[in-house]
Amino acid sequence: MRVLQICFRVPYPPDDGGAIAMYGITRNLSLKGHEVTVLAVNTPKHFQQVDVLGGIARLIPVFIDTTINRKKALLNLFKPIPYIAERFISDDFEKQLEMLLREEQFDVVHFEGTYVAWYVDSVRKWTNIPVVLRSHNLEHMIWQRLSENEPNVLKRLYFRRMARELKLFERTYYAKFDAIAAITPEDALRIKQMGVSVPCHFIPAGVDLDRFVLRPDIKPLKNTCFILSALEWLPNQEALMWFLENVWPEASAVLPHLELHVAGKGTPDYIKELNIKNVFIHGYVDDASVFIQQYDLMLVPLLSGGGMRLKIVEGMALEKCIFASSVGAEGIDCSDGKNIVICDDAERWVEKIKDYFRNRENYDSVGKNAGLLIQNEYANPIVIDRLINLYKSLAK
C-alpha cells in the first residue's frame, strides 16, 4: 500500500513518546513492504534535516514556527480553534498537502494526533481516499487532569478553559475521519462518549524489540531507582516534583543508601539545579535502552497526562520491575502484582519501595512477566498488522 503519514513533528529521533509511536509506524510499515511518505511539521523545537529517515520513508518536512507567542495566544481568545492547535495551521503545509494529493496516488492518509487533525478538511477537498486518525491521546484529558492538580487559581482556570476548547475541537474534527485508531481502550471509550460516531478501534503503540535487547554485560547498580521521561512535557515535570516532595523524603530516610536517577530530554533548568541528596539529574541520554539497564527499579509517578506511556513498554521489554501510578499504567494490559506494581498515594509508594529493596527477590517475576507481555502483545510487527488490516478494510 502507499501511505501518506501526516505528523505533527518529524518522527525522529525516537526519543519521546510521540516520536517513538510515529517512528514505529513509519519504520514497521516500511519493513512490511509498504511505501510511506511522511509529511511532517518541522518545528523549531524538533527541527530535522530532510534525510533523517534514510531509506525507511520519504520525508517532506514543512517548517512551521510553533513557538508559544503571547500576543498570538491573546488574539486567539476570539477564535474558535484553541491556540495550542492553531500553532500547527499553515498555508505552506496545506499547499504541500494539496500538491501531494493532486500529483500522486495514495491508498490511505494517516493522521498522527489531534494537532494535525485540522487538515482533514483539506484532504476531503482533493480526494476521497480513506483518512485514518491515530489518536495518541485525548489532549483535552491532559489539560483537565492538570487543572485538577493545579494549586494556582489562575493557572487552574486557564487549564480548564484549554480543556473545554480542546474537547470541542476534538469532538468536531474526530468526527470527520473514516476511522480512528485509539492508542488505549480507555481513549477509545472516551471518544465514543464524546459523541463521535466514527468507528474507533483500539490499536496500542508497540516497541521495536531489536532496539531493546537485554545486555548481559550491563548489571544494574544496587540500591538505585530511576525515572526516565521527556521532562519538557508538563505532566512529567509535575510527576517528578510530586514524587520528590511527597515520596522521596520518607523513602530515602528509611533507605539512606538509595539513589534516584532522573533522565529525560528537555530537562528544564529548575530541575537541573535541584540539590537533593542522592538524587542525580542526568538530562538527555543518548541510549534509553542502556540507561534503563544501568539502574534497578523503574518509577512512573504520573498524575496527569493521557494516552499510553511508551517508556513503560520499553522498560517492560527489558524485563524491568516497574512501579507506576494508575494514570501512568493506563492503556497497558497489565495487572498489579503480576507484571507491574500500581502505586497511587504517597504512603503506598513509600511502603512498596521499602519492601522492594528489603525483599528484592519477591519482585523478580514481575519483570519477567512484563517481558512476556510485551513479546506477546506489544511487539511492533503484531501492532502494525492490526493497523494494516484497518487500512485494508477501509480500502474495500
Query: For 269-282, what is the mean pLDDT?
Result: 96
What does the alpha-carbon distance between residue 334 and residue 330 come to, in Å, rounded to a whole number?
9
Nearest C-alpha neighbor of 327 from the set 338, 340, 342: 342
What pLDDT, on a 0 to 100 scale, did the predictor assign at position 304? 87
Confidence of residue 146 (pLDDT cuts 50, 70, 90): confident
pLDDT in tens, 278-322: 999 999 999 999 999 999 999 999 998 777 888 999 999 999 999
By DSSP bridging, strand 35-42 and strand 2-7 are parallel
For residue 163, the one-letter residue type is: A
Confidence of residue 367 (pLDDT cuts 50, 70, 90): very high
Nearest C-alpha neighbor of 326 from the set 307, 350, 347, 301: 301
Q: Which residue has the cell 530541575?
A: 271
What pLDDT, on a 0 to 100 scale, did the predictor assign at position 149? 82
Query: For 232-241, what is the mean pLDDT?
Result: 93
What pLDDT, on a 0 to 100 scale, did the predictor assign at position 306? 73
- Specify the range with the lowest mean pLDDT, choosing from 69-78, 129-138, 149-158, 238-247: 69-78
Question: Are residues 296 and 316 in contact, defined by beta-carbon separation less than 8 angstroms?
Answer: no
Does the pLDDT of residue 16 top 90, yes or no?
A: no
pLDDT in tens, 37-91: 999 999 999 999 999 998 899 999 999 999 988 888 877 777 788 988 999 999 9
Stronger pLDDT, 17 or 64, i.e. the higher one: 64
DSSP state letter for 104? S
DSSP state letter for 108? E
pLDDT in tens, 189-218: 999 999 999 999 999 999 999 989 999 999
What does the alpha-carbon distance between residue 303 and residue 309 come to, in Å, rounded to a whole number?
12
10: left (phi over 0), alpha (psi -120 to 50) or beta: beta
What pLDDT, on a 0 to 100 scale, did the predictor assign at position 366? 97
Q: Which residue has the cell 486518525?
A: 133
The cell numbers describing 115, all together, are: 494537532
